[in-house]
Structure 1
Amino acid sequence: MAPVSYITRAQSFSAAHRLHSPHLTDEANLALYGKCNHPNYHGHNYKVEITLKGEINPSNGMVMNLVDLKECIKHAVLDPLDHKNLDLDVDFFRKNPSTTENLAVYIWRNFQYHFARHSAWRTSSASLYRVRIQETDLNSVEYFGEGEENNQESLPDVEFDNRRHA
């Protein structure tokens, strides 16, 4: 067995959202989310880190080529999310509050979707290990995919979303 390593790529994107749950009344949403429930939205400059885990390939010395990782992040994160209104432009958030926790789940699923279709997946032992999102200087969320194996929801069809919102 080859040595195992973790590689991380960080990327930034900007997006607007409104913390509002379709499962709660307007009054309950305002009480729960406060100023972040403002009906005209607010925005963040998010920083996302994608970490992959895998064996170091003895031939090339890499877990995965970082150029390929950058391309997967472009398709899975930047294309559907950068300079978007999460609640209006991303179907996932029509049913789920656009919290940073749910954003991490969305990015996890979308990255898995694109990574499975990228040629690097077939030539690497790498697998998604962690999604970390820094929402503000003081707030961040990490997601390790726990609960995904029991999730029956299909992966987002981002290619369709990109055509519609291009």
Structure 2
Amino acid sequence: MILRKEYGFEAAHFIHNHPGKCKNLHGHSYKLFVSLEGPVHPETGMIIDFDDLSKVVVEKVIQRLDHHFLNDLIPLSTAENISVWIWEQLKPALPELCQVEVFETADNCVIYRGA
């Protein structure tokens, strides 16, 4: 079974080598979807409690990215590199992690499923 939860964060960045307007400082209202895959535990009826998942995601990702300058953590802060960074923060604490989706805008998204 796959469990998926949505999060959001606001952040600024620029892409220094971009040929267009993204080379300038700008911000996005990011959407993040975190997916875990695993069995439903018979004693709880869940893969993981949504509150337990949120504690990890908020501590390891949202608190570090929300209302921050992404280039300080991810120098080439493309949606692709942001998704890899998020994966690397979450995977050690969430071994069931199977996918992260990062929406930079409502219609621009990358999906990362690990290396």
| TM-score, normalised via structure 2 length | 0.94
Shift of 1:108: 0.2
The within-5 A match list for 1:9-28 is: 9-20=5-16
The within-5 A match list for 1:1-166 is: 5-20=1-16, 29=17, 32-38=18-24, 41-88=25-72, 90=73, 93-94=74-75, 97-113=76-92, 115=93, 127-146=96-115
Q: Residues 32-59 of structure 1, C-alpha deviation per residue, up to 9 Å, x if partnerless?
A: 4311001xx1000000000001111111
Task: Show structure 1 runs of 4+ deviating over 3 A.
Answer: none
**Higher helix residue share:** 1
Name structure 1 gaps, 5 residues minimum.
21-28, 117-125, 147-166
**Higher strand residue share:** 2
1:112 maps to amino acid:
K
2:22 maps to amino acid:
C
- The Cα RMSD (Å) is 1.3
1:19 maps to amino acid:
I
Shift of 1:60: 1.3
1:73 maps to amino acid:
V
Secondary structure of 2:20 counterpart: helix
Aligned to 1:159: none
Shift of 1:128: 0.5
Name structure 2 gaps, 5 residues minimum.
none
Number of residue equivalences: 115
1:143 maps to amino acid:
Y
Secondary structure of 2:19 counterpart: helix
CA distance in structure 2 between the aligned counterparts of 1:75 and 1:104, rounded to whole angstroms: 16
Q: Work out whether residues 19 and 33 of structure 1, in 8 Å CA contact, stay in contact via their aligned partners in 2.
A: no
Between the aligned residues of both structures, percent identity stands at 36
Which one has the largest radius of gyration? 1
